[in-house]
């Protein structure tokens, strides 16, 4: 299966991951994130994020229900997120507003960054972001669920 978010061979893909997708990857080891995790661990893709996105992520991983479900403490999850951001990510400044408006204002930062940084993919399970997919596909951005990615191609 060929992945939906591709570019020329040898190029590094730039992906924006929403908060829940990052949790699925780093905290809950969700099977739907296996292909994306392989791309990131192999260095074929980079996770683009901003300080606000990391702040939201650190807030979420410190919530009691996440800690209980993960069976870990906030410090351990915070270290895991920081390490992944350093190893597989690229910290960018906050992005200016783009032309596409998300129905959920809390999710606008993800589409703004994806558009501004010319990311190839925004991985999400969020319905408000997925609703933007038909309008955002023409400029080269794909908004996908993690399960829609294909395996890492050799």
CATH code: domain of residue 129? 3.40.50.1010
Q: How far apart are CA 53 and CA 59, in angstroms?
A: 10
Domain-embedded: residue 153 = no
In a domain, 133, yes or no: yes
Q: Residue 154 pLDDT > 50, yes or no?
A: no
Q: Note whether 19 and 123 are within 8 A (CB).
A: no
Residue 137 lies in a domain: yes
Residue 93 lies in a domain: yes
Could you give the dihedral angle defined by the CA atoms of residues 128, 13, 93 and 138, in that order, rounded to the nearest 10 degrees? -50
pLDDT at 138: 64
pLDDT of amino acid 6: 55
Residues spanned by the domain of 87: 13-148
Describe the strand order of the beta sheet including 45-49 as a list of residue ranges.
89-91, 45-49, 13-17, 121-123, 142-144
Residue 40 belongs to a domain: yes
Mean of pLDDT values over 23-30: 94
Q: How confident is the model at residue 50 (pLDDT cuts 50, 70, 90)?
A: very high
Contact 105, 129 (CB under 8 A): no
pLDDT over 70 at 7, yes or no: no
Asked if the model's pLDDT at residue 119 lies above 90, the reply is: yes
Asked if pLDDT for residue 95 goes beyond 80, the answer is: yes
Per-residue pLDDT band for 1 (boundaries 50, 70, 90) equals very low
Give 139's pLDDT tier (boundaries 50, 70, 90).
confident
Structurally, the chain folds into a number of domains equal to 1
CB 112 within 8 A of CB 95: yes
Find the DSSP H helices in 42-105.
51-61, 64-70, 74-88
Tell me the whole-structure pTM to 2 decimals. 0.90
Pick the residue with more confidence: 4 or 56? 56
Q: Is residue 5 part of a domain?
A: no
In-domain check, residue 90: yes
> Do the domain assignments include residue 4?
no
């Amino acid at each position: 299966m060929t992945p939906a978010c591709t570019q020329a061979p040898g190029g590094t893909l730039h992906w924006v991951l929403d908060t829940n997708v990052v949790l699925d990857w780093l905290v809950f080891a969700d099977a739907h994130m296996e292909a994306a995790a392989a791309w990131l661990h192999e260095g074929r893709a980079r996770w683009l994020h901003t300080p606000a996105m990391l702040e939201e992520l650190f807030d979420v991983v410190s919530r009691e229900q996440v800690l209980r479900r993960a069976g870990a403490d906030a410090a351990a999850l915070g270290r895991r997120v920081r390490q992944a951001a350093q190893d597989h990510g690229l910290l960018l400044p906050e992005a200016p507003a783009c032309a596409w408006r998300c129905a959920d204002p809390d999710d606008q930062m993800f589409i703004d960054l994806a558009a501004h940084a010319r990311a190839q993919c925004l991985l999400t399970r969020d319905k408000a972001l997925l609703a933007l997919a038909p309008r955002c596909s023409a400029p080269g951005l794909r908004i996908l669920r993690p399960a829609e990615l294909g395996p890492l191609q050799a």
